[in-house]
Structure 1
Amino acid sequence: MEGAVAAEELKAAVNRLRRAQGQIAGVIKMMEEGRDCEDVVTQLAAASRALDRAGFSIIATGLQHCLADEEAAASGDREEMRARLEKLFLSLA
C-alpha cells in the first residue's frame, strides 16, 4: 500500500516534469526559429519554475514519509535524515 501512496503523491511532480519537458522542447524550437529573446527567456523561466516545483514536491513527500517513520526516529537516524533533507533543499536553492 505504501508504494501506491507514494506513487499517488508524486503524480503531481511527474506531471510538472512532463510540463517542463514540453516547455523545454518549446524553448529549443523557439531558438531554432529565431524567436524573440524575451519570449524565449519567459518560456525558459516557466520551465525552470516547473522543475523547481517538482523538486520541492518530491522533497516534501520524502520529508512527510521520513517524519512518519517512527522506527527511524526511534533508532537515532533522525539527525541523519535531517541532514539529508537539508542537503536536498539546499540543492534546489
Structure 2
Amino acid sequence: MEQPEQKKLLNRLRRTEGQIRGIQKMIEDEKECIDIITQLSAVRSSIDRAMGLIVAENLKYCLENPEQDPTDQAQKMQQAIHMIIKK
C-alpha cells in the first residue's frame, strides 16, 4: 500500500478507535439506546469504508502488477471481488 493511502487508512482507523471509546463512555454514562446504536452504526460504516479502501488498493495493485500465472492473477482478483460483495 502506498504511503498516502496507508496514511488515510490509519487516520480512518484512529477515528474509528476514538468513536469506539466514545461508545464505551456512552454506555458507562447510561446514554439512550438509540444514541449508542447510532454511533455503533457509524463505526460499522467506517470499518466498511476501511475494508473497501484496502480491497480497492489490492485490486489496483493486481491490475498494475500482473502475476506471471494468469490463473493465479484471476484467483487473486476474484478473491478481492468476493471481499467487496461479501456481507
Normalization by structure 2: what TM-score? 0.86
Alignment of 1:24 with 2:20, yes or no, is yes
Report SS of the residue matched to 1:34. coil
Matches within 5 A, 1:38-77: 38-70=34-66, 72=67, 74-76=68-70, 77=72
Give 5+ residue unaligned stretches, structure 2.
none
Do 2:62 and 2:77's aligned partners in 1 also have CA atoms closer than 8 Å? no
Count of residues paired in the alignment: 86
Which has more helix, going by share of residues?
Answer: 1
Alignment of 1:82 with 2:87, yes or no, is no
Deviation per CA, 1:11-62, whole angstroms, max 9, x where unpaired? 2111111111100111111001100111111111111111111110111111
Q: CA deviation at 1:9?
A: 1.6
Which letter does structure 2 place at the counterpart of 1:14?
Answer: L
Do 1:13 and 1:55's aligned partners in 2 also have CA atoms closer than 8 Å? no
Identity rate of aligned residues, in percent? 34
Give 5+ residue unaligned stretches, structure 1.
none
C-alpha separation in 1, matches of 2:77 and 2:59? 9
CA RMSD of aligned residues (A): 1.6
Q: CA deviation at 1:6?
A: 1.5
Normalization by structure 1: what TM-score? 0.81
Which letter does structure 1 place at the counterpart of 2:46?
Answer: A
C-alpha separation in 2, matches of 1:48 and 1:54? 10
